[in-house]
Structure 1
């Protein structure tokens, strides 16, 4: 259950839910596969002390509608653009996690006038390697396997085993990244969510890895302030993908949190906020007259 009040907007007869919190310069947070605004954890409240935070549940995710149809990067990017239009936000810094990173890079390509700066968090679209879990979701029959993995019986028994191991004194305390991954996997028990997930992942991943690359668009990002934040222990998308951007866009800033996983915004929330806030303020500070 979300701790934030969700607003609603209707696009093409489908309802999109989103958080709109705080005052000040706007910043748009775009979550990843099986995520929602909740994937940002405490970042929404911390950022809302200084900024107007917009955090949608993309179509097919969270509390938003899950229509049958297009779940490509371009379609998601158009949804973010439509939401900005609805909120009368002409442009803003965009922060994208995982799939959300690919979405905001697609926005920078399709709607460059809407993007003031990019922050890519454990982003897709920067190299072929991706976890076996995501590759398996592209295989025939995965639509039948996923509901079993997400079933209450499997989840209860897995959690019971982990609880028993914990009582033995073994170090099995999961990271916040692992907790969020486990939580999000449970959402595919719902058929509409599962169908939307499979459509989204198959749009960008194949049996051999990621099939969509932003590399051909890198020259367009050379004049756009960009920062990448990654967890050094990311098992979903490896941190060395950040170097693919550094090679093409030398001015980009890269921050790797060595002990964080796929959700550095959850594993190291205060460090993440400080790094992101510094990056965002660099775009809003008045130039010195000295």
Structure 2
């Protein structure tokens, strides 16, 4: 009889780079896939993919500077700076080419990597990506306003989260609110805003791409420069943060052969709401012919 062996989770590593000390996970073997989270996120936003895809791919998941356990020192929190940090990490790991998967703000980082370091990126998967249209949830627009730095810690306090969590729990029991896996992850991520350093980094990052009107950085003009790189768009049908319409609006500007996968019932975190479906779609994408 073979004894049951408890599942072991990968242990995060740290690396000192030129600009920041970053935390990351390096798991599995095979073609390299880099997973980049969104605003307020961490590498744990990809836990199902780290576990589910490492049998076939080498998975690199990173806490962007200002997020998770990476440095939150004052500095440049622009898309280009984040893209350069990911590039520096890959260079330090002696990795030459990767497929980049970016969620929300991380999608903007992924596209910036492709624009700045095209020789390094041989495929791109954008998950509910920012940077493809102006519309964004009003809560994120509010973060760009003066005074938001004082309001956020109040909203993220233990007392406020306990009160709101209780209300949401009642609504869930009454079946007036659906609490998906992505919602739970976003709720845990928001708790990080109680930390002053994390909050400052979040505001610097958010304000670099969002103002009171919505998203201020658009990659639409850059899409034509993506050439024949393999590309996939994945969106949740019920995304309340970045509209699904953005994916359809840019479809004709993406490289030939780009597919849009709409996950029924999923919200802004389709890879968490339906991880098995996401992983299956991603495996099919990776098994397709290389076009670059």
TM-score over 0.5 (shorter chain):
yes
Question: What band does the TM-score fall into relative to the shorter chain?
Answer: over 0.9
Equivalences, count: 282
Q: For residues 164 and 224 of structure 2, what CA distance do their matches in structure 1 show?
A: 46
Distance 1:96 1:165 in 2: 32
Question: Does the 8 Å CA contact 2:172/2:179 hold for their aligned counterparts?
Answer: no
Q: How does 1:224-239 map to 2 (within 5 A)?
A: 224-239=229-244
d(CA) in 1 for partners of 2:239 and 2:18?
36
Q: Does 1:154 align with 2:160?
A: yes
Distance 1:283 1:115, change over 3 A: farther
Q: Paired residue for 1:33?
A: 39
Q: Are 2:100 and 1:94 aligned? A: yes
What per-residue deviation string (whole Å, max 9, x for no partner) do you get for residues 103-155 of structure 1?
Answer: 01011111000000110000000000000011000000000000000000001
**What are the ranges of 5 or more consecutive residues in structure 2 without an aligned counterpart?**
1-7
CA distance in 2, matches of 1:81, 1:278: 26
Q: Shift of the alpha carbon at 1:216? A: 1.3
Distance, in Å, in 2 between the alignment partners of 1:263 and 1:14 is: 27
On the 8 A contact 2:171/2:177 being kept in 1, the answer is yes
* SS of structure 2 residue aligned to 1:112: coil
1:174 to 158, 172, 179: 179
The residue correspondences of 1:12-51 to structure 2 (distance < 5 A) are 12=18, 14-51=20-57
**Aligned-residue CA RMSD (Å):** 1.6
Structure 2 counterpart of 1:80: 86
Q: Is contact 1:222–1:251 with CA below 8 Å preserved after alignment?
A: no
**Number of the residue aligned with 1:287:** none
Q: 1:170 to 1:257 in 2, by over 3 A?
A: closer
- Residue 288 (structure 1) aligns with: none
- When normalised by structure 2's length, the TM-score is 0.93
1:202-217 equivalent positions in 2, closer than 5 A: 202-217=207-222
Summarize the alignment of residues 121-270 of structure 1 with structure 2, pairs less than 5 Å apart: 121-166=127-172, 169-249=174-254, 250-270=256-276
Q: Shift of residue 163 of structure 1?
A: 3.3
Q: Which 5+ residue runs of structure 1 have no aligned equivalent?
A: 285-290
* Distance in 2 separating the partners of 1:233 and 1:165: 18
Distance 2:204 2:136 in 1: 17
Q: 1:55 aligns with which of 61, 74, 83?
A: 61
- 2:3 corresponds in structure 1 to none
Name the structure 2 match of 1:116: 122
- C-alpha separation in 2, matches of 1:152 and 1:39: 22
The C-alpha deviation readout for 1:178-230, integer Å capped at 9, x for no partner, is: 21221111110000100000000100011100000001111111311111000
For 1:53 and 1:283, locate their aligned partners in 2 and report how far apart those are by CA, in whole Å.
20
- Where 1:180 maps in the other structure, the secondary structure is helix
8 Å CA contact 2:142, 2:148 repeated in 1: yes
Instruction: Normalising by structure 1, report the TM-score.
Output: 0.93
* C-alpha distance in structure 2 between counterparts of 1:53 and 1:145, whole Å: 37
